[in-house]
Amino acid sequence: MTDVREIHFQEVDVEAFATAEGRIAVIVPEDGKLDVSGRRLNRLTRGALQRAVASEKWGKLKDGQVLSLSFPVGLAAEALDILRLSRNPKPEQARAGGAALARAAGSASMLIAGGSTKRLDQLALGLALRGYSFTSHKTADDTPLGAAHILCSRSAEVAETAQTAIAIAEGVTFTRDLVNEPANVLTTTEFADRLEAMRGIGLEVDVLDEAQLEELGMRALLCVGQGSESPSKVVVMRWKGGESGAAPLALVGKGVVFDTGGISLKPAGGMEDMTMDMGGAGVVAGVMRTLALRKAKANVVGLVGLVENMPSGNAVRPGDVVTSMKGDTVEVVNTDAEGRLVLCDVMWYAQETYRPAAMIDLATLTGACIIALGHELAATYSNDEPLVSAFLKAAEAEGEGAWRMPLGQAYDDMLKSPVADMKNIGGRPAGSVTAAMFLKRFVKDDTPWIHLDIAGVAHVARDLTLSPKGATGWGVMALNRLIADKFEARQT
């Protein structure tokens, strides 16, 4: 796993500034008023700090942005980064400030004069998230990531508060690594092995192999992987931090480690990006990691279906009819609509086995989702108003965009098949909606449910505030917030 930047909190020590190496950062509010650390740094730099905050460049900055002075006189550090930030910033401003410091620092070590600024835990989260870089397969990139030391008032209290932020950063980083890995590395077996390793942080983990899946009747899932040499698997992760016997929240993730489209082969252009088609499973894994690391007081079970969709002489064909674990038959009209075949069996298994209090599935499911919402928002479907309202509130609070989409009988009618109980696609119109309606057929009437189509937000081609281009880890923070707000609170 990619290392998360080490972040330490300690009491303010102005004597450390003169000899600190790497980079020094100081927080200055809009009015340019310097605190005790700022005044010391201003003296050491012979007034350069004060001149900088009186400059035209400073006046043009917004909260969360940085002005850097390279090789400042009077300091051993290679740069002095001046972060413009209110002493009581909003969480998103604090995160943006941390992210700006991470961009400025690169891999250099940092000494950050936080003083009495509020929400330094959120600044640390932004620092950790934006400092991410996936370099596992770059042989020339062996520069270690320098630690960050944040000097602040009441450092022990801030450090304790920041433990949750660091756990979130660990979960997001785990998700990003999984999504960024090439498919020849992250096979279904390697994916399962990485999830099994989380037993070491307190998760209970079971891996169901093909023989067990066949016995359970998961033939919809199994048909997707039957053209691949990689064995299909279902991995179940359990975190039992809530009341004994209380029904868990079930998180279900699509884990197609590579998607060629099968016999309904995708175009060659862009197919290399299909290493990210396990993004839903990656998010589930990251959330479970976060919950275990922060010792969440909730019961949550994460289930991921791991398959590879390949064309071969044994691959499922368009027109084949398969039987799901539920017992419903599905006409496979298009083998590139495979994610819903994986999810439907895992969702049914989750309900039959765990009787969850609610169920949320995540998948990079449809290109139609991207046509509808671009790369800004995840498509959100639900059969339960209180649950989806709580999720959308959590997503907004965490800055992870999500948009409520419709469900309805007319869309369900588009799935009618002349030879089976349903088709696996409903045609081009409303493709993301009909995919959700397919999944809804596998949701029991008494199960509150959300479907998240994350095709547009799991992996992006541009830098974002908290992540470089590539895998974003979208959903880990929102789902962690939802669990904290809705599923932990009622069990304490």
Active-site residue numbers? 266, 340
163 dihedral zone (left: phi>0; alpha: psi -120 to 50; beta): alpha
- How far apart are the C-alpha atoms of 301 and 464, rounded to whole Å? 30
For 272-282, b/e burial (b = at least 16 CB within 10 A) is eebbbbbbbbb
DSSP classification of residue 6: P
| 23: amino acid identity, one letter | R
Token pair in block for residue 352: 């039959």
Distance CA 166, CA 105 (A): 19
* Cβ atoms 402, 377 nearer than 8 A: yes
For residues 472 and 466, give the distance between their C-alpha atoms in angstroms, rounded to a whole number: 8
Cα angle 466-304-480, degrees, rounded to a multiple of 5: 40
Return the closest-CA partner of residue 183 out of 272, 283, 282.
272
| Rounded CA separation 174/476 (Å) | 10
Q: How far is 492 from 490, CA to CA, in rounded Å? A: 6
Spatial CA neighbour of 256 closest among 339, 347, 193, 336: 339
Q: How far apart are CA 91 and CA 402, in angstroms?
A: 19
**Is residue 472 a contact partner of residue 464, using CB atoms and an 8 Å limit?**
yes
Return d(Cα 169, Cα 232) in angstroms, integer: 29
